[in-house]
Amino acid sequence: MDKPLTRNIKADGSVATLEDYRQSGGYEGLRKALSGHTPLEIQQQVKDSGLRGRGGAGFPTGAKWSFVPMGENAPATKYLVANADEMEPGTFKDRLLMEGDPHQLIEGVIISAYAIQASSAYIFLRGEYHLAARRIREAIAEAYENRYLGAHILGSDFSLELHLHTSAGRYICGEETALINALEGKRATPRAKPPFPQAAGLFGKPTIVNNVETLSNIPHIVNLGVEWYKSLSRSADTGTKLYGVSGRVKRPAIWELPLGVTAREIIEEHAGGMRGGFQLRGFMPGGASTDFLLPEHLDVPMDYGSVGKVGSRLGTGTMILLDDKTCPVEMVLNLERFFAQESCGWCTPCRDGLPWVATLLEDLLAGRGRAEDLATLEWMCSFLGPGNTFCALAPGAMEPLQSALKYFRADFEKYLPQPALTGGVHA
């Protein structure tokens, strides 16, 4: 099975060198793009490949690029930004790509910048990824030395400057318009759209923000072709995906697998199943802001369409497991405290609603809950849901809550004070 994204990732955690990367076909995609393809042809290839954004939303990458103004009347300055702000709880896949094979990301950035004719690019890296920062910095320097970056890349007409920006915390920086504000040296609050970043983004110029894993796919699509890329997956969604499992399994880790493998294969075969003494009660398919699914969903293919059909999202593809020794209500409280803390405070439903949700859950767990609190929590799920906020943070925060209320209702109810007549002791 072909694993293009991780073929150079070493088991001992050391970095793939420029030489390692070249020997596996590295920078061949860039050479092909610059010598034989127009920017619009590269855009078309990526569109035809079916690649969907790997940051969590799954938006088709080629379609995203197609909104960038091109041609002679397009602004002279455009930007390509790599979203390396991996902060979705439960997600640890981009770290692997950046620490293990930084040149793959850099080549992806260069080809993507060529495709939209950007003259500057930034890698926006979360501040805590110190090892990735060191390795990316070294790889960028090597890329300049070898004329993969700078003026007239590989003797072509295309020039690109690439800078690494290390951030200073806050989950909201992963939201692409908040990221743009952060890169401009501002508070990371999301922007109202329109205008979309493709028209007016970083410093008011056309800007594309793509996730690290998304960009790491680009060199392979250009080098090995659309048909090869489409042959990698087991579903309508193309390519491979970095899948991860954390929680109480025998071997928590990341694996590159064809898009469309089932959750069962990932959890039981690759992660080795549950640890002794623990049963699977549920799982979040792709990070903290995806709806819980149940063991009955284990045979659902983990692709964008199939996971959507059963009421959740593939998200980042890194699953968090809920086991039978963990209280789902306490788990949801941990998640909602995270989202409440990380709200940027820009819009009211999120800023005021999320702490309210957390407080209701705290009260419930402390035995101070009231019967109507569960209805209030359900009301919050729609009030903080899609369409009421500037960005997806609050709607994302409601996904674990609404699904937990649906699937683990009895766990919530058992914390409610019981009427004296029923009188039972509830464990």
Partner 1 sequence: MNLSPAEIEAIRAEAGRYPEKSAAVIDALKIVQRRRGWVSDDSVDAIAGLLGMSAAQVDSVASFYNLIYREPVGRKVIHYCNSVVCWMQGAEQNREFISRCLGIDAGETGADGEYTLLPIVCLGACDKAPVLMIAEETYFNVDQTALKRILDDGGQGDG
Give 154 or 327: the residue with its C-beta nearer to partner 1.
Answer: 327
Within 304-323, which residues bind partner 1 (CB under 8 A)? 318, 320
Q: Which of 187, 193, 370, 414 binds partner 1 (CB under 8 A)?
A: 187
Quick one: CA torsion of 387, 393, 395, 397, rounded to 10 degrees?
-160
> Site for partner 1 (CB under 8 A): how many residues?
51
Instruction: Output the 3-class SS for 283-350.
Output: EECCCCCCCCECHHHCCCECCHHHHHHCCCCCCCCEEEEEECCCCHHHHHHHHHHHHHHHCCCCCHHH
Does residue number 87 form part of the binding site for partner 1 (CB under 8 A)? yes
Does residue number 89 form part of the binding site for partner 1 (CB under 8 A)? yes
Does residue number 411 form part of the binding site for partner 1 (CB under 8 A)? no
The amino acid present at 381, given as its one-letter code, is C
Within 272-291, which residues bind partner 1 (CB under 8 A)? 288
Q: Which two tokens stand for residue 100?
A: 């293990």
Give the shortest CB-288-to-partner 1 separation in angstroms.
6
Does residue number 191 form part of the binding site for partner 1 (CB under 8 A)? no
Contacts of 101 (CB under 8 A, 6+ apart): 6, 8, 9, 15, 16, 21, 216
The amino acid present at 228, given as its one-letter code, is W
Does residue number 338 form part of the binding site for partner 1 (CB under 8 A)? yes
- Of the candidate spans 108-116, 149-157, 186-194, 413-421, the one that interacts with partner 1 by CB under 8 A turns out to be 186-194
Per-residue x/- mask for partner 1, residues 226 to 245, rule CB under 8 A? ------------------xx
Q: Which residue has the tokens 């390396």?
A: 84
Does residue number 324 form part of the binding site for partner 1 (CB under 8 A)? no
Strands 79-84, 120-125: pairing kind: parallel
3-state secondary structure of 256: strand
Query: ∠ at Cα 25 (20, 29), nearest 5°?
Result: 130
Give the shortest CB-162-to-partner 1 separation in angstroms.
10
Does residue number 100 form part of the binding site for partner 1 (CB under 8 A)? no
Does residue number 90 form part of the binding site for partner 1 (CB under 8 A)? yes
Phi, psi of 79 (to 5 degrees): -130, 145
DSSP secondary structure, 341-374, as one string: HH--S-SHHHHHHHHHHHHHHHHHHTT---HHHH
Does residue number 270 form part of the binding site for partner 1 (CB under 8 A)? no
- Of the candidate spans 68-76, 226-234, 306-314, 339-347, the one that interacts with partner 1 by CB under 8 A turns out to be 339-347
Within 145-184, which residues bind partner 1 (CB under 8 A)? 163, 165-171, 182-184
Instruction: Round to whole Å and give the CA distance between 133 and 38.
Output: 32
DSSP secondary structure, 28-43, as one string: HHHHHHHHH--HHHHH
Per-residue x/- mask for partner 1, residues 47 to 86, rule CB under 8 A? ------------------------------x--------x
Residues at the site binding partner 1, with contacts judged by CB under 8 A: 77, 86-92, 94-95, 126-131, 163, 165-171, 182-188, 203, 244-248, 252-254, 288, 318, 320, 326, 331, 334-335, 338, 341-342, 344
